[in-house]
Amino acid sequence: MRGIIIASFLILQSLVVFSSSSPPDFNFFYWVTYWPGAICDSQKGCCPPPKGNMASDFMIHGLWPQFNNGTWPAFCDQTNLFDISKVSDLVSKMEKKWTEWGVWACPSNETKLWEHEWDKHGTCVQSVFDQHSYFLTNLRFRQKLNLLNILKQKGIKPDGGLYGLDEIKNAIKCAIGFAPGIECNEDVKGTKQLFQIYICLDNYAKEFVECPYVPDRSCASKIKFPKFPKKDSLGESLSVISSV
């Protein structure tokens, strides 16, 4: 009987150890989307997505773990690199919401972008996500948060006009409760324009949180919201986010 009790205790102990999970060793996430018009309206230009998805909308860039001190982990596990077979059921949605506008080279290659996002950022969050849940979480936030509609409802439209940086941030804050970070680039004339939006999430990517810091220094007080590119105006060159 004593042996049975000990054996049972050891089995229970092993189950507790196996089922316990250590908390993430980073502090929060940036969930980042980009506006294709800002890539195509830059000095470097862009190229259309290979699947022909030309829907006017913000596109997912990625989900990036961050530390509160302004640094971040990267390329954490070379033994678990991107495997498209693990997200095969998500590919059709990713081709619509996570499209490639020349992030790496023309012609565009979505798989390279997805591979880069997992290998650089996803491998550092395996205490929270496997490959499938990492990409699924990105898609779910994209479905939950329609940034273009949020901005349009406040009269902020991709018409090539200038809008206040605080006006854009406040429009999104009204929708999610927290101000985002805004990253700008420059058009061919040197005008600062809306490029990427950074939404901060807790370190389990479940809730919106206040951003400990945001990359707003690249913007002016008023920034351009460039028009969505027309297919016949697209160049054949690298985009501005190839190193991100």
Q: Please, are residues 219 and 207 in contact by the beta-carbon 8 Å criterion?
A: no
Give the distance, in angstroms, between the CA of residue 192 and the centroid of all CA atoms in the same chain: 21
How far is CA 99 from each of CA 106, 135, 151, rounded to the nearest angstrom?
13, 13, 21
Query: How far is C-alpha 200 from the geometric centre of its chain's CA atoms?
Result: 10
Q: What are phi and psi of 103, to 5 degrees?
A: -60, -35
* Chain position carrying tokens 């370190």: 203
Which of 100, 110, 121, 183 does the annotation list as catalytic?
A: 121
| 3-state class (DSSP) for residue 132 | helix
Determine which one of 100, 110, 117, 183 is catalytic: 117
Q: Which of 61, 100, 110, 183 is catalytic?
A: 61
61 a catalytic residue: yes
**115: alpha, beta or left? (left if phi > 0; alpha if psi -120 to 50):** alpha
> Which residues are catalytically annotated?
61, 117, 121
